Structure 1
């Protein structure tokens, strides 16, 4: 069975992420944690707003020293925006994900919950995406992965560990 591809979904997520980063005042509440692992490093973008208070933390870890270092919001955003601009994405279903990840390919854990001002309810999603240059790269990666069953094969994803917007 072939893995579902997520270029359209991630394009919409990128738009929402840009809106949150540039205009957080449009959101009544949000709780966002994005963890990007790429080229042996890690970038974390974490921000939340509850009861009018916003707390944020942006940090990264390079491969050379392994120490976490605080990043500017702009640097963390830029790294994640570059990832979201890739050509194609596969998503992990939650089961056996360790076997399906290859450190040579960038992957991003996305835990995104929000409620815009004026909306009656909140939305949330929790997924891990692996980024590729194009669809051919994505299909080749999934076919060669040891944990083939670890990929989402049907959209929308509604699992216990990973789910699209609900």
Structure 2
């Protein structure tokens, strides 16, 4: 398998996402945009705090529906948290030349753009990644074997203009 595995990274990300959802007052600033594509549907969890003001938007599009529907914060959080609870993950490189067919609806995908600065900390952190979720390592290896190796992050930490782990 020529892809880095991200179960440990997503476990840490899940904890941070939960903290942001439950205790946003612990963060000076943040911007989180998570788009989960699963079973032909879409769930979007978007929230940001700038200059003391928090703006949030949560919506989804069920499979086969043509329009987005607003949803509760709890529902959007629960859907993304279930994705984070999967057993293994690989990350996409964003290589658009070979990217056709990588969004296989059999496997959930989550695009994550997340930046934050905790209260009292001098620096902000940011990440931008797209993860594909699997039940276990065997599922991940099967998926990777069916696609071009250049589509998947092979070495960690990963940093390019299109995608990057925490900086």
With the shorter chain as reference, the TM-score category is over 0.9
Q: Which runs of 5+ in 2 are unaligned?
A: none
1:149 aligns with 2:150: yes
Normalized against structure 1, the TM-score is what?
Answer: 0.97
Structure 2 CA distance for aligned equivalents of residues 105 and 66 of structure 1: 21
SS at match of 1:78: helix
1:136 to 135, 138, 142: 138
Structure 2 CA distance for aligned equivalents of residues 25 and 98 of structure 1: 41
| Cα RMSD, aligned residues only | 1.0
Segments of 4+ moved more than 2 angstroms: 96-101
Structure 2 CA distance for aligned equivalents of residues 104 and 62 of structure 1: 15
1:116 aligns with 2:118: yes
In the TM superposition, what are the counterparts of 1:65-76 in structure 2 within 5 Å? 65-76=65-76
Structure 1 CA distance for aligned equivalents of residues 159 and 113 of structure 2: 14
Structure 1 window deviating more from structure 2 (80-89 vs 135-144): it is 135-144
1:36 aligns with 2:32: no
Given that 1:100 and 1:148 are in contact with CA atoms closer than 8 Å, whether structure 2 keeps it comes out as no
SS at match of 1:79: helix
Normalized against structure 2, the TM-score is what?
Answer: 0.96
Q: Which runs of 5+ in 1 are unaligned?
A: none
